[in-house]
Chains A and B, each alone.
Chain A
Amino acid sequence: MKTVIRKLIEQHGRLPVAMSTLADGQDLYAAGLTSFAAVQLMLGLEEAFDVEFPERMLNRKSFSSIDAIAACIAEIAPQKAVA
């Protein structure tokens, strides 16, 4: 799953740094993720994992790192988390 997440961040995150330099727990906002790009990333994740993020996950914290995103997806779509 994290490989897919990484690919989506690369596509939508508009980060000024290479994805390969980012650890799973690293703060994506500190790496340059803007709130605009975060929404684009959410849309990409919803499409790729065929999920809809519930209201309570639509905050800064849920998308603050690769680990945090993976935890959100694991929670709303446990069957996809193993992929």
Chain B
Amino acid sequence: MTRNSNLLDRAADAAAVAAKYCDEVDAQSRFPTEAMQALKDARLMGIMIPRDLGGEAASLRDIAEVCALLGQNCASTAMVYAMHQIKVSSVVSHGADHPWHRAFMACIASQQLLLGSSTTEGGGIGGDLGNSICAIERDGDEFTLRKDASVISYATQCDAILVTARRAPDAPGSDQVMATLLKSQYTLEKTAEWDTLGMRGTCSEGFIFEGRAPAEQIMPQPFAEIAARSMLAHAHLLWGALWYGIAANAVSRAQSYVRAEARKKPGQNPVGALRVAEAASMLQLMRSSLNAGLERFEKAQLANDDLNSMSFAIDMCNLKIGSSRLLNDIVQQAMMVCGINGYKNGTPYSLGRHMRDAMSAPLMINNDRIFGNTSNMLLVHRLDQRLAS
């Protein structure tokens, strides 16, 4: 607990910086430079890394708490931080026995590196991260890779990018690996802008990615293993945590609004009071399911095969679908409470940014794609009917 509160104290400073610049980041659709620098200054980039490599071995629960806090203040900053930590989780989970990635972990911690991700690809692949067109081409001890990366978030800001590709030019699309390339090892040629409704600070532009690096920078495990064992849970739980932050802040604004109304007219309940109560109940659902998800992950970590199981994958997918939907319902509800003061920008009750940021949640890995996957798994998987599991 002491470690957790220490992390939260450090994150609070960064969250204050994030809050200060969030409207500017949103309006200009620019990278949250100040908040990300504050996170580096607070030494929060490498906290998941083991202690012997210079990190703090922070748990996913701790990091989720940081994401939730950032989400209350600037969703773009929270999303960049979450995406970074999802990448770190792959290196931590799968690089422990791999010399190059061990050294890389030490660098992340000591230099507070920011990691980016390139899974999305053009040419019909889109967000289907289990498939690639581009392939690793071996050239002696090195490899080259050219990827039409239709989305790489904060690509020009990060220090390294973890890229998925087919194992070799003759490998099938689903036989993928993940390689880590350092900033000095790749070039980026911009192909698409990032001018969106929300999450405007993630700068998720499109690029042609071209890189060359030593072959030891390719992770030895198949990417499908990495996706199942570290990415799935970390992505859905950390996204869920920051979405919870957005929702919590929206409810807090609605509550403040109703409280101010109630003070003005003592003796009668303001119109929006009932909706605040309803939003609070939805927020509790969201919080409970995220906590249950974190608990599920902690349990699965102890039992090796569980992380690979269908039941775990379905739980994590359902968590993502549920929390992204709840977030939108909650923000909508808060908007009804605050009325024109929520609809207008620049009031203490403004919710436009929350709403626009929230709308990305069901789309980033489209909920319908996830339902497609879970519906397939549910053809063979039988749901646990017990209340407690």
Chain A residues at the B interface, C-beta cutoff of 8 Å: 15-17, 29-36, 39, 42-43, 46, 53, 55-56, 58-61
Distance in Å from the Cβ of A9 to the closest Cβ of chain B?
A: 14
Contact in complex: A60, B225 (CB < 8 Å): yes
Q: Which residues does chain B contribute within 8 Å of A55, judged by CB atoms?
A: 309-311, 381-382
- State whether the Cβ of B308 lies closer than 8 Å to any Cβ in chain A: yes
Chain B residues at the A interface, C-beta cutoff of 8 Å: 130-131, 167, 171-175, 222, 224-225, 228, 305, 308-311, 373, 376-377, 379-382
Tell me the complex Cα distance, A4–B207, Å.
Answer: 47
Distance in Å from the Cβ of B161 to the closest Cβ of chain A?
A: 24
Contact in complex: A32, B175 (CB < 8 Å): yes
Tell me the complex Cα distance, A58–B377, Å.
Answer: 9
Tell me the complex Cα distance, A31–B224, Å.
Answer: 13
Tell me the complex Cα distance, A31–B130, Å.
Answer: 14
Contact in complex: A34, B174 (CB < 8 Å): yes
Contact in complex: A58, B310 (CB < 8 Å): yes
Given contacts A35-B224, A36-B376, contact A29 B174 (CB under 8 A): yes
**Chain B at the A interface: mostly helix, strand, loop or mixed?**
loop
Q: Which residues does chain B contribute within 8 Å of A34, judged by CB atoms?
A: 130-131, 174
Q: Which residues does chain A contribute within 8 Å of B225, judged by CB atoms?
A: 60
Tell me the complex Cα distance, A81–B308, Å.
Answer: 26
Tell me the complex Cα distance, A33–B175, Å.
Answer: 8
Tell me the complex Cα distance, A25–B308, Å.
Answer: 20
Contact in complex: B311, A30 (CB < 8 Å): no
Tell me the complex Cα distance, A16–B172, Å.
Answer: 7
Contact in complex: A61, B305 (CB < 8 Å): yes
Tell me the complex Cα distance, A31–B308, Å.
Answer: 19
Given contacts A29-B222, A30-B175, contact A61 B377 (CB under 8 A): no
Q: Which residues does chain A contribute within 8 Å of B131, judged by CB atoms?
A: 34
Contact in complex: A60, B224 (CB < 8 Å): yes
Contact in complex: B379, A39 (CB < 8 Å): yes
Distance in Å from the Cβ of B238 to the closest Cβ of chain A?
A: 22
Considering the complex, give the chain A residue whose CB is closest to the CB of B382: A55
Q: Which residues does chain B contribute within 8 Å of A36, judged by CB atoms?
A: 373, 376
